[in-house]
């Protein structure tokens, strides 16, 4: 039977990174002390470095950072507006043929 994956909160991850960076222990020691898998702390640190602010770090299961979610929303709106524009062009073409 497969083991359940542990899920750690955003605050736990931030605290673990801070504990490692302010302490004099190795990353492996901190991971053992906190009971997290080997390599997780390094992965969390690199994820934190990739984002612009701590508020966007570790958004959760399937969630996007705020900036990414906003971009996706705007892309959907843009696609919808393009479709509406094409429909209006076709309607205008149909009515301009009928007017002749």
Do residue 19 and residue 40 come from a single domain?
yes
Is residue 44 located within the same domain as residue 72?
no
Local confidence band at 83 (pLDDT 50, 70, 90 cut-offs): very high
Find the domain containing 38 and state its range.
Answer: 7-62
Instruction: Provide the terminal-to-terminal Cα distance of the chain, rounded to the nearest Å.
Output: 74
Whether 11 and 56 share a structural domain: yes
pLDDT class for 57, splitting at 50, 70, 90? confident
pTM of the model: 0.54
Q: Which of 14, 6, 19 is nearest to 49 (CA)?
A: 14
For 62-77, the three-class secondary structure string (H helix, E strand, C coil) is CCCCHHHHHHHHHHHH
d(CA 38, CA 29): 10
- Give the confidence band of 50 by pLDDT, cuts at 50, 70, 90: confident
Name the percent of the chain lying above pLDDT 90.
Answer: 19
Same domain, yes or no, for 12 and 49?
Answer: yes
Whether residue 2 is predicted with pLDDT greater than 70 in this model: the reply is no
State the pLDDT at residue 59: 64
Spell out a b/e string for 21-55, using b for 16 or more CB atoms within 10 Å of the CB, else e.
eeeeeeeeebbeeeebeeebbeebbeebeeeeeee
Q: Are residues 57 and 69 in the same domain?
A: no
Measured distance CA(14)–CA(87) in Å, rounded: 49
State whether 32 and 58 are in the same domain: yes
Residue 40, pLDDT > 80, answer yes
Mark whether 11 and 58 lie in a shared domain: yes
């Amino acid at each position: 039977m497969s083991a359940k994956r542990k899920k750690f909160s955003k605050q736990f991850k931030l605290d673990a990174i801070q504990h490692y960076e302010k302490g004099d222990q190795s990353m492996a020691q901190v991971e053992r002390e906190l009971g997290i898998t080997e390599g997780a702390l390094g992965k969390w640190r690199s994820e934190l470095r990739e984002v612009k602010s701590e508020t966007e770090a570790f958004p959760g299961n399937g969630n996007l950072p705020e900036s990414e979610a906003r971009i996706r929303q705007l892309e959907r709106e843009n696609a919808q507006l393009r479709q509406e524009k094409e429909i209006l062009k076709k309607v205008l073409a149909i009515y301009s043929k009928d007017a002749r």
